[in-house]
Every structure is written in structure tokens, then in C-alpha cells.
Amino acid sequence: DKKIHEKEEHIYIKLYKPEGYITTVKDQFNRKTVLDLINISERIYPIGRLDYDTSGLLLLTDDGDLANKLMHPKYRIFKTYEVEIKGSISEASINMLRNGVLIDGYKTAPAKVKLINQSQMNTSVQISIHEGKNRQVRKMFKKIGHRVIKLKRISFGNINLGGLSEGQWKYLTDDEVKYLKR
């Protein structure tokens, strides 16, 4: 009768990922990875992905069960992004995002969208989605005729960057871990 030794404490980290890092454990092309920013000896893995040219909140853990649960679409955890786009955006375009747009042969789930700041040159928008398809936010804006200049994830459900600067990380609080495990 073998007993499986299960580790008592898992590691849960939030990182403010800068642009120019890839969200992977190892890179075959020797590019900088998000793990280069976190100086701990334990093996941890990113929960989901942020593109090379996207900055913002990334969660990492050694808790594989929780990571898989959090990435499953049925849990509908909203991820919120600050998006800077070229030009100004119409109310009709915002409503298209709110209703879902067709990208890569499927219709995105409705997004929560808030206009933050608008000028002739650039517009800042906050968008929350619970899906996480590859480059989804960029593709959604492209579909409505806007190129994304800057993309930053500011929250994962109730967890936000909480005063971190680019490249900084910290362990999640007990409340943040409880929120993820609920």
C-alpha cells in the first residue's frame, strides 16, 4: 500500500510581465522567459499565457490541478485588459465587442467594454473577457478595424497588479489564493 506524498504548501505568484518576455518555462530560441524574472528554486508554471508583446498580470504556480481548473472555459474567469488602439472608436464598434465578434471562424463571447480616454490619435479602452483564445483581444480589435498599439492585462478575476512595477513579482495573499480555489 503505497502512500503518495503530496506537498503541503503550493506556490502562488503574481508577476507584472513586461513586454519582450515569453510566457513559457524554456525557450528553444533562448529568448527571455517569464521565469527569468522570478528567482526561486521551485518549479513553477504560468497559468495561461500573455503574448511576447503584451504586458501585465500573469499568475504562476506549482499547483497543476488549480492551473488546469482556472484555464477551463467553464469557470468563466474574467481577465481585464487595458488596450490602446490607433484612432478613435465608435459606439457601434464598442457594441460589436460587447455582443461578440467573429474571429477565426467562431464568435467570441460578449465582452465587457469601457471607454477610458479618446483622442483623434489614440484611444484607451478597458475590456474584460472570460475566454482566452490565442491573441484574442488583438484579433477582436482588428476585426472592428483597430490596430492595438499597447495591451496590458490588469486583472485575473479579483486579482490585480496591486502596486507591482514591470518585472516585479510577489506571492499571492491567502485571500487571493482562496479566491482562486473557490
Residues 78-156: name the CATH superfamily: Alpha-L RNA-binding motif (3.30.70.1560)
In 3D space, the residue among 57, 82, 62 whose CA is nearest the CA of residue 157 turns out to be: 57
CATH for 12-73+160-181, among 3.90.800.10, 3.40.50.620, 3.30.70.580, 3.30.9.40?
3.30.70.580
CB 5, CB 173: distance < 8 Å: no
> Which pLDDT score is estimated for 163?
93
Q: Which residues are catalytic?
A: 51
Long-range CB contact pairs, 173-179, < 8 A, 24+? 176/12, 176/14, 177/12
HSE, CB side, 13 Å, CA atoms: give it for residue 160: 8
pTM over 0.85: yes
Per-position pLDDT tens, the chain of length 182:
444 545 568 999 999 999 999 999 888 899 999 999 999 999 999 999 999 999 999 999 999 999 999 988 788 899 999 999 999 999 999 999 999 999 999 999 999 999 999 988 999 999 999 988 889 999 999 999 999 999 999 999 999 999 999 999 999 999 999 999 98
Q: Write down the residue that cell numbers 506571492 correspond to.
A: 171
